[in-house]
Structures are given as structure tokens and as C-alpha cells.
């Protein structure tokens, strides 16, 4: 019979070896280098919108019913946009989730025309069909 200590050691080896292999394959590059690489996609959620999830019975088409950016999130959006601008980044279209906090983040970044794209909508709490 294998001791619990030995089982734990094998579990650790089996779980950690693939993780360390993946880490070794990860390459970190600067935002500047990423923006200069053809085909790069920059993806992030939204600036600071305090809280968690959205209120019950919210509607995607009504910002007053959603969790939105606060003043810090608005300032954060502008600062993020300024970083992109400082790297001479410009784009024709910024695709955004239809959630108001995402659209506002993209608009305040001011790096391109913002277009709502339902495919970037939230799957959180089943508000969008995953199929």
C-alpha cells in the first residue's frame, strides 16, 4: 500500500510538471512590441466598475440598470487610452461588449471608433446564450 505522503508527492509531480512546462513556453513581450506585431489582438474587460455582477433585472440596453464605471474607472479608461496613444497606436474600430461599462471604457480610451459586438457579451449568470 502506498503511503499518503507518497500519493501526495506523485499528485504534486503530475500536476506541477505540465504547469511548469507551460510556464516555460510563455513569452512576455511589451505592449509596444505587441502593437507592432501584425495580427495582435488586445483583449481586456473594462475599467473599474465597483461591485460584482449586475443588479437583478438589469437590461443590457439600459445603463441605469447596470453596474457602471465610477469616476476612478473613467479616469483609468483615459489613462489606458493615453498609454496606447503614447505608443502611436490607432485603430479604425474598437470592438466592445454591449455592456455599458465596456462601451464607456472603450469610448473614453479614445483610440478608435467603438462598435458594440454582441459576441463579446457576458456569459455571466447566463445573460447571453453560450451557443
Query: What's the CA angle centered on 80, arms 75 and 82, to 5 degrees?
Result: 95
| Partners of 115 in beta bridges | 95
pLDDT tens digits, 74-106: 999 999 999 989 988 878 888 888 889 989 999
C-alpha cell read off for 99 = 455592456
Tell me the domain boundaries of the chain: 29-126
pLDDT tens digits, 31-80: 788 777 777 777 777 887 888 878 788 888 898 999 999 999 999 999 99
CATH of domain 29-126: 3.40.50.1240
Give 60-63 contacts, CB < 8 A, sequence gap 24+: 60/98, 60/99, 60/121, 60/127, 61/98, 63/100
Amino acid at each position: 500500500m502506498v503511503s499518503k505522503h507518497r500519493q501526495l508527492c506523485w499528485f504534486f509531480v503530475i500536476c506541477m510538471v505540465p504547469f511548469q512546462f507551460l510556464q516555460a513556453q510563455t513569452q512576455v513581450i511589451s505592449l509596444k512590441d505587441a502593437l507592432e506585431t501584425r495580427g495582435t489582438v488586445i483583449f481586456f474587460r473594462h475599467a473599474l466598475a465597483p461591485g460584482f455582477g449586475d443588479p437583478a433585472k438589469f437590461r443590457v440596453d439600459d445603463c441605469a440598470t447596470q453596474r457602471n464605471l465610477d469616476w476612478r474607472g473613467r479616469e483609468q479608461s483615459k489613462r489606458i487610452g493615453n498609454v496606447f496613444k503614447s505608443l502611436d497606436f490607432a485603430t479604425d474600430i474598437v470592438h466592445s461588449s454591449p455592456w455599458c461599462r465596456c462601451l464607456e471604457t472603450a469610448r473614453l480610451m479614445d483610440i478608435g471608433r467603438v462598435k458594440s459586438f454582441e459576441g463579446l457579451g457576458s456569459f455571466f449568470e447566463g445573460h447571453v446564450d453560450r451557443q
